[in-house]
Structure 1
Amino acid sequence: MNDWFKVRLSYSPRNDVTPLGNNTFYISIDWGVQGAGRPLGWALRLNAFADPNDNAADFVTARALQRNVTSIEAQSQICSWIRKCSGHECCLAQRDAILPARIIEVSPTRSPSAPRLLITNGGVGKYATLSYCWGASHSSLISSSNMEEYRHHLDVATLPKTIQDAISVTRAISIPYLWVDALCILQDSDEDKTREIAMMEQIFRDSLVTLVAASSDNASRGFLQLRSGHSTAYRVPFRISPSTFGTMSIQDLDDVIYDETLEPINRRAWTLQEQLLAQRLVIYSSHTLQWRCKAGIHNLGDSLNHSAFDEELYSETLFTLSKRYPESHLSLLQWMKIIHVYTERQASLPNDKLPALAGIVKEFSSELGPCYYAGLWEYCLLWQLMWKTFLPDRYQISKPSQYRAPSWSWASIEGRIWYEHYDDTSQYTPYNCAITHVDTTLKSINSPHGEVKDASLTLRALLRKAWFYPKTKNVLWVKGSDDSADSALDRHLEKFIEEHPEDAHTLDSSHGGAA
């Protein structure tokens, strides 16, 4: 018998990886003994990139990762992305928009290096928005007491580093105005907060571009630092044709796959709607600079963008607002996907749970509205009531100390939720149940999708006698259920009695003595 082995190199271009081209390779090695049964195997995924001036550049289209996000090339690339986006049929036209009530003028004519707060009075123009993490504390917030001072002059040196960086980028790419919540919403006025939060959907949708400080968990850190690198690349000769050779660099694909769910920005509740509503994103991620619009995602310098998860699912979720479904149930499925993502995030203030989603709610109201009750739509409300906590044994689930939403709403808890079989349209069938009354009382009539003071829900349905055992983690035993359910419950109760013998008599007496 002879030992053998086989080495294969293959590539499989994917539409969800940019740039398009032959940039992901697979090396597989199989070996064994002739006639000795099933062979063994091993495989490695590789990312390839080439110098733009190399002969291999036409075949291998990805380039080296660019870690300097403040270079002249980076600024030029942002401007180029904006120009190209204006030609995308799927992207909204870039035009002057009605400016938010207050905005930062980054380079006033009278003093270009001294930004100031501008009261717009309904004026129009192009502006950028900033999506970022505040962090534990925040200095230089606008209030009623300092607004007049800020209208004359903003001392940039006293601003949080992230806002300083945003002003610098906005000025560098020749956008005259920048909107930042901390400087454009009066932080000591609940009335102003309610009014401006209600405008968030329009503010982010109409901005020319949104700057995303993805890698910074605190406004004091900034986002223009040189990105660190850790992966090792190896240069190898590459034959393009029998007489033409080039060179490409290869590295382990696992070293370059980008998991954006790990970025600090994607743990904050408010930033989900900011990114969903924005038409164009310039993302300062932890590894490079990225561009995102409806046409796709691109890295600075055309380095490989390869997401750690299903890019198609991600694009459906985060760009769902650009799609319009004629069937309402398809819009509801998209809404459920967003709730899955949203409930993983945290709000600095517990009562922000509903307001931080209000802009997205407003967008969905054309398909699912107008009736909306503390996180749930009237359309298919029975189906939406069947949310569940996601892996409660693994992920912490808690309730806020103060009332935030009714118990039948997912917004009543802290923790990730999910809808079982939410993508199975066959589940949209009539129930032996009907809603006879549902109502919510808003904290402010000016915020129809925001905080609620109380809510009520009345159902008409069939009833079954049941016993409830809190110590068995909310297991319900229903008389007359099918045999398999009864058997499973019996096994559960037997285990419960073993662990809690002192409670055995309680279980026995509750349903006729049979545990």
Structure 2
Amino acid sequence: MASMCETCQGLQKHLQVFEERDQADRLAATQWVNTTLPSLRRSSANCRACALLVQAILLHHSRFSGADEESVGVVVESFESSTVEIAQDHLSIEVRWKSASNGVDVQDEIKESYPDLKLEIFTDQNEHSPYSAIGPGRHIAETFLDDAGVKASRDLINECLTNHARCRHVKPHVQPATLPKRVLDVLIDDPSKGVRLHESQYDEVEEHYEYGEYLALSYCRGIGRGIPQTTSKTLKAYKQGIPWASFPRAFQEAILLTRSRGFRWLWIDSLCIIQDDPLERIAEAMNMGEIFGNAFVTLAATSSVDTSQGLFPPRDPPFRLQTSDISRGSPSKVYVREQPLHYSFKTSFDPCTQITDWELPLNTSRESDVQTPLLRRAWTYAERLLSPRVLHFTRSEMILECSEGYQCECHRIENPTYDPRATDPIKQLFARIADATKKAAKSNDEQMDGVTSQLADTSITETRSQKREEALQIWTYIVTEYTNKRITYDADRLLAIAAVAKTFSKFLDSGYIAGQWTCSTINLLWYPNDSTHCRRPKRIPSRNIPSWSWASIEGSPILFDTASAMDLACSASFSSKPHDRRSAWSPLSGDKLRLTASMATDVSFRADSNTEYSLVRNGVSVEFRPDVVPPRGADAMDSGEKLVCVLVCMTFRSSIVGIVLKESKSHPQVYRRVGRFECYEVHVDEKEAEPEDAEALFSYWFPEVKDMMQLDEGPMRTYVVV
């Protein structure tokens, strides 16, 4: 009788020795191996199952070829099909090498992070494996346009339409979709006629274009070469027909998929917007909420860096491994492939926590860039939010992202059994705001009640101020992620997010100027994640971006303070007309801001080093981080130069936060923002004593203030900030 392998128990379920554990853990997963690759190699000399595992790992050796093999950890698990969907009986191999540290036992770290490589071994459906731990795997279509691929995409979308209340599709004869101004007619009835540009008929009485179901395409332009564009010169010819050979691969595949799904209309920005008409480009950008919001589904070339790589990235077929079934005396085959990647759609934090505690920005790693380049683009981030459904085509599978969550071909993206990380919730949070706004009653009171009912599951309480605060937190999450994305033309930063802001404006009942909501002074307390990479944008006469707007800083994700423990009697006025506070809509530019505060004072700027700075008053200094480091251009400051520090609030972090202003040399009494100020501790110069708590700042810089609860009744100072 052969002895049981101590490393893997022969991958035989009847030999598995279970440790004492509760029923839930027992049903979730069975761990077969927890060792290092060298140890597994040694065991493979006497165990066929271990040899199979080593072979599967070494087929992917290129992924860790530069790593010290002693640091490569291996965990092998199988899952009980009774707790998950049918046909999920594969064997999972997790390989780690990046997290292992010198001097630390690999096995101690082996479960501390998501694996650097995750493989799965499986059989065909209804096929037998000589190892009972290896069962059938989930089928993934080899190509996107074959029968299996078309069926898979149809199944994902039908699940969304049938079972998601917020996504359920309204029948066209009840509430048909409105076509954009222009769409591509893919001539499904006679594809031999090619493709032509169709201009929708506008009904001036009903104030909308003609009805029709259509798809939209989201893609990376790359360097833009080889992309056909509709211009004032090509418009007439394109309405007659567009040569098939002029379409890049991504456009061709999107057209073929549109036809295969039975749709006639397809929207692609470069062809449906006149590219040499700046006014139309701005108007259609403002209308992106309707264009992508009315599309049946948005097709996303998620794994392609440009249109030449196509909509459908190539898929690596699984490796086929031959094994011996001793009990049957016949050969048997199993397959090994890298588990479909959900990395770019996952978070490293618990989305059930407060938004203010979320770790932002999300997924800044090189792996995310390589696997899903589309998700790193600013324009397509807005398109993704605005679309009711986005069908992502990745290198491993199709992923459907909708207003209520995610689905994928492997059926694991939302299943914590296989991947405990949570999916990125922002599209679902944004969709709830959009949905609540649409369904709310006309009157303001009824509107807020309707919003409350729609947003109950996002923990927004029943007071208007708290609902607004929650919505503003969602907005700041979006801006942080958005400013972490790449955009070809910096001048488009406010334009690309304008349609998203348009949705929020109805919910917040607030004006919106150059990226800033007029209802919130707190949102002025934005700051760059890394000032050393920051720059001010080039000035465009028609689009003035004031220094108080987050869009005035480029080169770094923008973070926000969204919650205040105590207001320090600071207010902002964006217009001399009080009624404009709620109705102002200037999404691309802004002008003067009047900042009025009780606690504002002159301070001296001090450069402690090339990258460290302080603000000094009355012999007391606090650290200061300018928006641009080192300060240069309009932000240039010399040691000893006078600045103004305006305190805005105290935070729950026991810090004092404010805005630092610099007076214009050419326009006295007009100021520019040069940084955000956050004081955690106070340093008394020329003393060796330990720093004092932040609250000591009040007595040193504002000795005249005797009662912090009476700030609103004290003298105020007003600054004009441009």
Deviations 1:179-222 (A, max 9, x none): 01100101111221122122110110110010001111222332
Counterpart in 2 of 1:97? Answer: 177
User: 3-state DSSP class of the match of 2:497?
Assistant: helix
| 1:164 has 2:239 as partner | no
Q: C-alpha displacement at 1:300, in angstroms?
A: 3.0
Tell whether the 8 Å contact from 1:466 to 1:479 is kept in structure 2 after alignment: yes
Q: 2:390 aligns with which of 262, 266, 281?
A: 281
- Provide the C-alpha distance between the structure 2 equivalents of 1:475 and 1:311, rounded to a whole number of angstroms: 39
CA-CA distance at 1:480 after TM superposition: 5.6
1:298 to 392, 399, 407: 407
Q: Would the alpha carbon gap of residues 435 and 420 (structure 1) be closer, same or farther in structure 2, given more than 3 Å must change? A: closer
For the aligned residues, what is the CA RMSD? 4.4
**For 1:211-230, what aligned pairs fall within 5 Å after superposition?**
211-228=299-316
- Distance between the aligned counterparts of 2:121 and 2:618, measured in 1? 64
1:263-342 paired onto structure 2 within 5 Å: 263-300=372-409, 302=411, 312=422, 314-315=424-425, 317-324=426-433, 325=455, 327-342=467-482
Q: Are residues 116 and 435 of structure 1, via their aligned partners in 2, closer, same or farther at CA, if it must alter by over 3 Å?
A: same
Counterpart selection for 1:185 from 273, 287, 294: 273
The alpha-carbon distance between structure 1 residues 334 and 178, as it changes in their structure 2 partners (threshold 3 A), is: same
Q: Is the 8 A contact 1:131 1:213 kept in 2?
A: yes
The residue aligned with 1:129 is 216
Distance 1:185 1:69 in 2: 28
* Aligned-pair CA distance for 1:143: 1.0
For 1:84, which of 159, 166, 186 is the aligned residue? Answer: 159
* CA offsets 1:116-142 (integer angstroms, 9 cap, x no match): 111111211110000011121243210
Aligned match for 2:494, one of 341, 354, 362: 354
Given that residues 214 and 263 in structure 2 are in contact (C-alpha distance below 8 angstroms), is that contact kept between their aligned partners in structure 1?
A: yes
Q: Which residue of 2 aligns with 1:443?
A: none
How far apart, in 2, do the equivalents of 1:127 and 1:410 lie? Answer: 35
Cα separation, partners in 2 of 1:61 and 1:468, compared to 1, 3 Å: farther
- 1:287 counterpart letter in structure 2: S
What letter is aligned with 2:287? M
Do the aligned residues in 2 keep the contact of 1:23 with 1:47 (CA within 8 Å)?
Answer: no
Which amino acid counterpart does residue 158 of structure 2 have in structure 1? Answer: R
Q: TM-score, normalised by structure 2?
A: 0.55
CA distance in 2 between counterparts of 1:257 and 1:232 reads 24
Q: 1:432 to 1:192 in 2, by over 3 A?
A: same
Correspondence for 1:412 among 542, 546, 552: 552
C-alpha separation in 2, matches of 1:449 and 1:235: 67
SS in 1 for 2:424: helix
The answer to whether the 8 A contact 1:129-1:210 is kept is: yes
* Partner of residue 460 from structure 1, selected from 597, 600, 608: 597
Structure 2 counterpart of 1:240: none
Contact 2:321 2:334 in 1 (8 A): no
Mark the CA change 1:61 to 1:69 in structure 2 (over 3 Å): closer, same or farther.
Answer: same
Where does residue 516 of structure 2 map in the other structure? 376
Which amino acid in the other structure matches residue 167 of structure 1? I
Counterpart secondary structure, 1:178: strand
Structure 1 residues not aligned, in runs of 5+: 29-37, 238-245, 441-446, 490-504
Q: 1:475 aligns with which of 604, 613, 621?
A: 613
In structure 1, the partner of 2:230 is 142
Cα deviation, residue 475, structure 1: 2.4
Equivalent pair of 2:413/2:419 in contact (CA under 8 Å): no
Q: How far 1:459 moved relative to its partner? A: 2.8
Give distance in 2, aligned partners of 1:161 and 1:252: 26
Contact 1:64 1:303 in 2 (8 A): no
CA distance in 2, matches of 1:391, 1:24: 43
Equivalent-residue separation in structure 1 for 2:166 and 2:324 (angstroms): 39
> Corresponding residue for 2:239?
151
The alpha-carbon distance between structure 1 residues 61 and 89, as it changes in their structure 2 partners (threshold 3 A), is: farther
Cα separation, 2, equivalents of 1:39 and 1:474: 39
Distance 1:323 1:376 in 2: 21
- Against the structure 1 CA distance between its residues 187 and 58, is the aligned structure 2 distance closer, same or farther, given a 3 Å change threshold? farther
User: SS of the counterpart of 2:534?
Assistant: coil
> Given the alignment of the two structures, is residue 53 of structure 1 paired with residue 126 of structure 2, yes or no?
yes
CA distance in 1, matches of 2:422, 2:482: 18
Map of 2:505 onto structure 1: 365
Q: Give 1:248 shift.
A: 8.1
The SS at the match of 2:217 is strand
CA displacement at 1:507 relative to structure 2: 6.9
Per the alignment, residue 494 of structure 1 pairs with none
Kindly provide the amino acid, as one letter, of the partner of residue 477 in structure 1: L
From 284, 301, 305, give the equivalent of 1:196. 284
Contact 1:105 1:115 (8 Å CA) reproduced: yes
Structure 2: distance between partners of 1:340 and 1:111: 44
Query: What is the rounded CA distance, in whole Å, between the counterparts of 2:126 and 2:576 in structure 1?
Result: 65
Residues 436 and 460, structure 1, Cα contact 8 Å, conserved in 2: no
Q: Which has the higher contact order (CA 8 A, sep 6+)?
A: 1
In the superposition, relative to structure 1, how do residues 191 and 42 fare at CA in structure 2: closer, same or farther (>3 Å)?
Answer: closer
Secondary structure of 1:103's match? strand
Residues 83-124 of structure 1 deviation map (CA, whole Å, 9 limit, x = unaligned): 222212131424430111110011164665411111111211
Query: What's the CA shift for 1:386?
Result: 1.2
Query: Aligned match of 1:176 in 245, 264, 286?
Result: 264
Could you say which residue in structure 2 is the equivalent of 1:115?
A: 195
Task: Classify 1:436/1:97 alpha carbon distance in 2 versus 1 (closer, same or farther; 3 Å).
Answer: closer
Q: Secondary structure at the match of 1:52?
A: coil
CA drift of 1:291 comes to 1.9
- Structure 1 counterpart of 2:601, one-letter code: R
Q: Which amino acid aligns with 1:101?
A: K
What is the distance in 2 between the residues matched to 1:178 and 1:250?
Answer: 37
The separation in 2 between residues aligned to 1:463 and 1:369, in whole angstroms, is 30
Query: What's the CA shift for 1:289?
Result: 2.2
2:526 aligned with 1:397, yes or no? no
Aligned-partner SS, 2:501: helix
Alpha-carbon distance in 2 for matches of 1:65, 1:455: 56
Amino acid at match of 2:182: R
- 8 Å Cα contact 1:257/1:306 also seen in 2: no
Residue 72 in 1 paired to residue 147 in 2? Answer: yes
State whether structure 2 residue 527 is matched by structure 1 residue 388.
Answer: yes
- With over 3 angstroms needed to count, the CA separation of the structure-2 counterparts of 1:467 and 1:89, relative to structure 1, is same
Give me the whole-angstrom Cα distance separating, in 1, the residues matched to 2:304 and 2:185: 24
Offset, 1:274: 0.5
CA contact (8 A) 1:216 1:223 kept: yes
SS at match of 1:468: strand
Any stretches of 5+ residues in structure 2 without a counterpart? 1-5, 8-16, 20-29, 32-76, 96-104, 202-208, 326-331, 346-367, 434-454, 461-466, 578-583, 625-637, 644-682, 688-722
User: Do 1:130 and 1:179's aligned partners in 2 also have CA atoms closer than 8 Å?
Assistant: yes
1:204-215 maps to which residues of 2 (within 5 A)? 204-215=292-303
User: Bigger radius of gyration, 1 or 2?
Assistant: 2
Alignment equivalent of 2:343, drawn from 241, 244, 258: 258
**Counterparts of 1:411 and 1:236 in 2: how far apart (Å)?**
63
